[in-house]
Structure 1
Amino acid sequence: MNYREEERRERNFLSSSDRNSVLPIRLQRLSALPWYDCWVQQLRIEKKSKHTIRAYTLSAKTFSQTSLPGEDERSWDDLSQISVSEFHQRANPDRGRMDAWMNTLGSLSPSSLNARIAAASHLLKWLGHGVPDWIQRPSKRKSLPRTLGRSELSRLRDASNNSEDPLSSPIVTILLDTGLRVSELCSLDIEDIDLDDLSALVIGGKGEKDRTVLFTSATVKAVESWLPIRKSRAKLTGTGDDERALLLSSRGRRMNPRSVQKLIDRLADDSDIPRSRLSPHTLRHTFATGLLERGADLVTIQRLLGHSSIATTRVYLEIGDQTLREIYHRAQRTPPIAPSPLNSDNSDVETENEYQVMTRIE
């Protein structure tokens, strides 16, 4: 019998209150170690992304620092070092700390609240506690991914090509050409990109999965124009991680997501696009919808985007109706064509092509 089966049998004989007071068998050998280090290690074992780990630990910090009536406030430096056994008791839902913490989250949006609850639920389950039944994740309003219209896209390209910042063109071009996440873009090393093969290797993407992304001659041109500038900036880096980066700041440092967003904000101003409508992820969505409207199937788009589930990719079906609208309005403006008596069995080529596009969207 393995330890999971033994623990499951043990828990079946315990009441909910008893289960919350007993340290799980799997954690007993860790009982004297700092809980925070052990939990973060578990998150890494589960291959949670750096972004997820950062979000989870922030929630764990605020939860653990929530004081109950009669308790003295404790610093994070102190709380992060207490043992697994002691923190197991501190986090016991029956003591009311979860209730007190949840009461501080009332002003959060549904998405932010969901993220906090997900983090707390993971922590409680890892500690062997049950998640209280009254904790329910709020339903989120279903929103479609933001994409750029053709006019906005044209203005953005012009702004990036004419920008004084030499990073503008390669960043915008690569994002629109590959659909990379901003974290993946920043993680690209110079040796990861193959201009001859028109491909790039994404190492350790979301979920720590590697994948290959493709690009066109537009990216080749943008990168080739950037490389001489990168070479001069690389002299400032010395050695280490920055030295390998494809995209370097003026100080010779690897670009990070915050720096990329600031650059995108400036381009939004130059393009007369509201900043709220433009982000690196907007360009990722624009890439995906562009593929869909040109006839790419969902499985191909899923692989290029690095989605673990095709259900995530399927949302783009709902925003591909721009093509549907254009076909409809063009058809409404065009008078019907009478079939030729000499070729009555052949349907109009344009109508057939439009039908195929509409079928793909459906």
Structure 2
Amino acid sequence: MPIEPSRGAERYLRYVALERGLSENSLAAYRRDLAAYAAWLEGRGIPTLDDVSPATLSQYVVELGGAEGGEPRLAPASITRRLSTVRNLHRYLFDEGVLETNAGSAVRTPKRAQRLPKALPIEEVEALLASASGDDPVALRDRALLELLYASGARVSEAAALDVDDLLGAAVGSDAWADPEGALGEGGFIRVTGKGSKQRIVPYGSFAGRALAAYLVRARPAMVARGKGTPALFVGPRGARMSRQSAWLVIRAAAERAGITADVSPHTLRHSFATHLLAGGADVRTVQELLGHASVTTTQIYTQVTADTLREHYLMSHPRAK
């Protein structure tokens, strides 16, 4: 029986939600991509996925990129992501016997230009962290959040999802609830839940540990008391779990106070963490584990950043470099 794009999309979304354990953010992105695809098909009078051919998908890619004139409507990375989602939809429905042919099998993904992650110099990271100063509860929380992001390389969404129970002190048997200063002051580990609900244990140092202890002792109790009670590590002024959007605003505000003119993204401290570790001699496999990358290929892009920096310093410093 022919299947409409919206019905096929819902069936595929149920599959990825149950079988692949995708996060809510990933599911939302999949849903947006498939809704855009369904709208595109409807606009061209294609009522079912059975009517889609490789030529149809090729035209979809062309129109996403605005290749027929004018400025590109989507960046190459966005086009690649959308096409990947659509191809996965067709492959899933073909494997399930819903579609007789897999229209996406013959469509090539556009080549993506390699975009190097942007890391801040160590001096600018230190200025950003120092800009989160003050003894009021929000300032203490912001300093703890920023220190932990740079110390662990966690994604902003991962940090926002942390509970106090995910904080582990360096000493065996230490308790972050009962004695934050004693448990965390020398650093420790956090239990991070990453993409696909995969957990990893990541260390953090004494700077982050002391900032976390100060927040847990002098700020979080009063903030949580204004709400209904939550195990969340980072909370807002009303006592509810801090959202990733709020955490991103903290990063941006700190960068502005520090006078950083470079573009700062939610991943800036994560990129800086990885780049500085590799520049300091850390093994790429170790950095892969700390970042929670499924493939070392994803991590190796940071080695290019480090190599470019080394070359720049060489050209500036060596008397016979030019």
Q: What TM-score results when the alignment is normalised by the length of structure 1?
A: 0.70
Q: Secondary structure at the match of 1:320?
A: helix
Point out where structure 1 has 5 or more consecutive residues left out of the alignment. 1-20, 24-30, 72-86, 334-362
Residue number in structure 2 paired with 1:319: 305
When residues 283 and 69 of structure 1 are mapped into structure 2, their CA distance, relative to the original with a 3 A threshold, is closer
Following the alignment from structure 2 to structure 1, what is the Cα–Cα distance between the partners of residues 44 and 281? 61
Determine which structure has more spread, i.e. the larger CA radius of gyration.
1
**What is the CA deviation profile of residues 109-143 of structure 1, one whole-angstrom value per residue up to 9, with x for unaligned ones?**
10111111111111111121413467432222212
Asked whether 1:57 is paired with 2:31, we answer yes
Please state how far the C-alpha of 1:69 moved relative to its aligned partner: 5.3
Letter in 2 for 1:230: R
State the number of aligned residues: 284
Please state how far the C-alpha of 1:279 moved relative to its aligned partner: 2.3
Q: Which among 233, 237, 247 is matched to residue 250 of structure 1?
A: 237
**What is the CA deviation profile of residues 264-291 of structure 1, one whole-angstrom value per residue up to 9, with x for unaligned ones?**
12112111123x6212311111111111
Asked whether 1:40 is paired with 2:13, we answer yes
When residues 63 and 91 of structure 1 are mapped into structure 2, their CA distance, relative to the original with a 3 A threshold, is farther
Residue number in structure 1 paired with 2:120: 148
Q: After the TM superposition, which residues 1-362 of structure 1 pair with which residues of structure 2 at under 5 Å, given as runs?
A: 35-44=8-17, 45-66=19-40, 67-68=42-43, 89-90=48-49, 92-94=51-53, 98=57, 102=61, 104-105=63-64, 106=66, 107-128=73-94, 129-132=101-104, 135-162=107-134, 165-166=138-139, 167-197=141-171, 198-203=188-193, 205-227=194-216, 228-239=218-229, 243-274=230-261, 277-321=263-307, 322-323=309-310, 325-326=312-313, 332=319
Structure 1 contact 201–213 (Cα < 8 Å) conserved: yes
Following the alignment from structure 2 to structure 1, what is the Cα–Cα distance between the partners of residues 270 and 54? 45
**What is the CA deviation profile of residues 224-275 of structure 1, one whole-angstrom value per residue up to 9, with x for unaligned ones?**
1111311111123315xxx01100011222112211111212112111123x
**What is the CA deviation profile of residues 274-312 of structure 1, one whole-angstrom value per residue up to 9, with x for unaligned ones?**
3x6212311111111111122111111111111111111
Please state how far the C-alpha of 1:55 moved relative to its aligned partner: 1.1
**What is the CA deviation profile of residues 45-103 of structure 1, one whole-angstrom value per residue up to 9, with x for unaligned ones?**
123333322111111112223324568xxxxxxxxxxxxxxx8x445314987567556
Q: Secondary structure at the match of 1:160?
A: coil
% identity of equivalent residues: 26
Structure 1 contact 177–219 (Cα < 8 Å) conserved: yes
Structure 2 contact 151–273 (Cα < 8 Å) conserved: yes
Q: What TM-score results when the alignment is normalised by the length of structure 2?
A: 0.78
Structure 1 contact 289–316 (Cα < 8 Å) conserved: yes
Bigger CA drift: 119-128 or 98-107?
A: 98-107
Letter in 2 for 1:192: D
Following the alignment from structure 2 to structure 1, what is the Cα–Cα distance between the partners of residues 52 and 162? 43
Point out where structure 2 has 5 or more consecutive residues left out of the alignment. 67-72, 95-100, 172-187
Following the alignment from structure 1 to structure 2, what is the Cα–Cα distance between the partners of residues 182 and 302? 17
